[in-house]
Amino acid sequence: MTAHKKAVEQIRESYAAIPGDATPRLGKATTNLFRFRAPAKTATLSARDLDQVIEVDPDTMTAEVQGMTTYENLVDATLPHGLMPYVVPQLKTITLGGAVTGLGIESSSFRDGLPHESVEELEILTGDGRVVVARADNEHADLFRSFPNSYGTLGYALRIRIKLARVKPFVRLTHIRFADADKCMLAMQEICESREHEGEKVDFVDGVFFTPDELYITVGTFCDRAPYTSDYTGMRIYYQSIRTRARDWLTIRDYLWRWDTDWFWCSRAFGVQQPLVRSLVPRRYLRSDVYRKLVGLDQRYGVTARLDRWRGNPAQESVIQDVEVPVERGAEFLDVFHREIGMAPVWMCPLRASGQWPLYPLEPGRLYVNFGFWGMVPLPRGQQDGYHNRLIEQAVHALDGHKSLYSSSFYERDEFWRLYNGDAYWPVKRSYDPGGRMLDLYDKCVRGR
């Protein structure tokens, strides 16, 4: 904690030294954001000393964690105690602070909601340069409730205390195939409501859409023992196994990171799902942060766009989104998405929010399905960048859903503040950043300034 206090003083002093005409930006070794617009004049705050697990307390089942700690490091600290965060987002280098100020989700979300719902306390560097401790029951409760989905526009998380859940050493997986999206959504709803499948307890639920007549729900159950464990960190690829086996076992650590090795399925864009190429790539490079850096380089130098022009291919649009749609409207969304976008696979992850979080107003207790899709789609002749993403935004909100803001968004200002509760945001913004030193949520997430 002494080292933490020194790091807090350092970042507070650095923040105070930023010129008034520069927008502060938190420097991170990795990022899981996908906004590639050129920013305005910025000043970077180093977060190198705010990336540690301070303490894991197995008695209270809590952890004190610095804001820039990755979930990979956090899980490595908690698993030896037989504990894990309630929700562990899919990618190793997502930070706890990023998942709380943005949004994170995983297969425990049908029961435990989103990562911020297991937070007990936040230490925050606010826009006006203060360091405050916010809880649901103190004088900064408004900041505590509004911090999720604020994306660093109200302040930066310096320290977070979270609740932890008990785990067992292994997870048994059952992959259930469906040939109809309506039946798949109905089954997902029944499993999530009963928390059982075929009379057995269910601890994790997610799924994959491959085609309109090939969808899978995967249920996971904690186990003390396993007849064998699969390894998807080398030549074998997890998402492909879903289509070929009905039952599988993983260690709890490998289960939590089952999607990271191939960035779900996005590693195929780099050729590393080809057996020969994969055999030549060291395992340490088969991970999401490596692929994300390659995407950043491609965006910077326009390699893919140049190759497409050279080959005479149509221009492509980046369609990288996660959206939440009520489970009863999930089949409708998949129909629209398949017809208008045509990208596959699509990740499906159910979630249920347990409380009121004003900047991402999901209805408490209602079951939603997160649909995640990440890739490139050819633009129709005569259409400009943003065509497909706007179609998705319109479809999501027509179905009473919401869209995460970690990637490009195209809303008009008035529509954005209506959807993301500007009435709740602005009073908190004026209280903790009255001078507007940090960008507001619209300027950061839509305009990309």
Q: Where are the domains of the chain?
A: 2-167, 170-258, 302-410
| Cα dihedral 212, 214, 217, 220 sign | negative
State the amino acid at position 173 in one-letter form: L
Q: What is the separation of C-alpha 274 from the centre of its chain, rounded to a whole number of angstroms?
A: 27
Rounded distance between C-alpha atoms, residue 150 and residue 154, angstroms: 6
Tokens representing 131 are 């360091």
Confidence of residue 354 (pLDDT cuts 50, 70, 90): confident
Considering only the C-alpha atoms of the chain, give the largest distance between any 2 of them, rounded to a whole number of Å. Answer: 63
Q: What is the 3-state secondary structure (H, E, C) of 171-231?
A: EEEEEEEECCHHHHHHHHHHHHHHCEECCEECCEEEEEEEECCEEEEEEEEEECCCCCCCC
Rounded distance between C-alpha atoms, residue 165 and residue 402, angstroms: 28
pLDDT at 295: 80
Confidence of residue 298 (pLDDT cuts 50, 70, 90): confident
Local structure of 276: helix, strand or coil: helix
Tell me: the pLDDT tens digits for 90-140? 999 999 999 999 989 999 999 999 999 999 999 999 999 999 999 999 999
- The region of weakest confidence among 40-49, 214-223, 247-256 is 40-49
Answer whether residue 434 shows pLDDT above 90: yes
Answer whether residue 310 shows pLDDT above 80: no
Rounded distance between C-alpha atoms, residue 36 and residue 20, angstroms: 24
Q: 0.75 exceeded by the pTM? A: yes
Confidence of residue 36 (pLDDT cuts 50, 70, 90): low
For 2-167, CATH number out of 3.40.50.1220, 3.30.450.40, 3.30.465.10, 3.40.1390.20 equals: 3.30.465.10
- For 286, what's the count of Cα atoms within 13 Å in the CB-facing half-sphere? 26
Confidence of residue 377 (pLDDT cuts 50, 70, 90): very high
For 302-410, CATH number out of 3.30.70.2520, 2.40.50.140, 3.20.20.120, 3.60.20.10 equals: 3.30.70.2520
Tell me: the pLDDT tens digits for 329-340? 999 999 999 999
- Average pLDDT on 289-317 reads 78
pLDDT at 34: 58
pLDDT at 296: 77
| Cα dihedral 178, 174, 231, 94 sign | positive
Angle at 147 between CA 64 and CA 66, to 5 degrees: 25
Confidence of residue 23 (pLDDT cuts 50, 70, 90): confident
Confidence of residue 32 (pLDDT cuts 50, 70, 90): low
Rounded distance between C-alpha atoms, residue 247 and residue 402, angstroms: 33
Distances (CA, A) of 400 to 148, 201, 361, 386, 403: 20, 30, 11, 21, 10
Rounded distance between C-alpha atoms, residue 296 and residue 3, angstroms: 33
Q: What is the mean pLDDT of the chain?
A: 92
Tokens representing 351 are 């979630």
Answer whether residue 40 shows pLDDT above 60: no
Tell me: the pLDDT tens digits for 142-197? 999 999 999 999 999 999 999 999 999 999 999 999 999 999 999 999 999 999 99
Answer whether residue 39 shows pLDDT above 60: no
Task: Note the helical H segments in 222-274.
Answer: 238-241, 252-256
Answer whether residue 31 shows pLDDT above 70: no
State the amino acid at position 4 in one-letter form: H
- For 118, what's the count of Cα atoms within 13 Å in the CB-facing half-sphere? 27
Q: What are phi and psi of 213, to 5 degrees?
A: -115, 20
Tokens representing 334 are 């998949």
Confidence of residue 48 (pLDDT cuts 50, 70, 90): confident
| Cα dihedral 304, 309, 314, 315 sign | positive
Q: Compare 387 and 26 and report the one with higher pLDDT.
A: 387
Spatial contact of 202 and 220, defined as CB atoms under 8 Å apart: yes
Tokens representing 240 are 């492909």
